[in-house]
Amino acid sequence: MVSSEIKLTPKSLFGYVLFFLGLVLLGYVVMNAIYLANAVFQPLRIQVTDPQSGRGLISSVETQVFLGIIVQIGMYSLIIAVASILMKNGLSVARKE
């Protein structure tokens, strides 16, 4: 009978913590995507104002929402990139001997 053994060292524990943090970040993005799809959250609205007069330069609500969606896509893609790096590096640290 072959039994496998898991050695938990501080280094491997650190790797698993990094992996878990990556999973938490991915869960955050998934939950926000579900909330946006179900209209629990509204997309961002970006309003650019003129510094002299204080008036809004973008008057169309559709353009404000479109720019907000572009910003949200960028934000979530950065979070996904950080999460994947954390998970990849966490597993490589945990598996090294």
Answer yes or no: is 62 within a domain: yes
Answer yes or no: is 55 within a domain: yes
Answer yes or no: is 90 within a domain: yes
Answer yes or no: is 1 within a domain: no
- Over residues 75-86, the pLDDT tens digits come to 999 999 999 999
Q: Which of 14-23, 52-61, 84-93 has the lowest mean pLDDT?
A: 52-61
Token readout for 91 is 């597993």
Task: For residue 65, give the 3-state DSSP assignment.
Answer: helix
Token readout for 55 is 């008036």
> What is the mean predicted confidence (pLDDT) over 10-17?
90
Answer yes or no: is 22 within a domain: yes
- Report how many domains make up the chain: 1
Q: What is the number of helices (H) and of strands (E) in the chain?
A: 2, 0
- Over residues 23-82, the pLDDT tens digits come to 999 999 999 999 999 989 998 888 888 778 877 777 788 888 999 999 999 999 999 999
Domain boundaries, position 82 = 10-94
pLDDT given at position 57: 79
Q: What pTM value is reported for the model?
A: 0.80
Answer yes or no: is 60 within a domain: yes
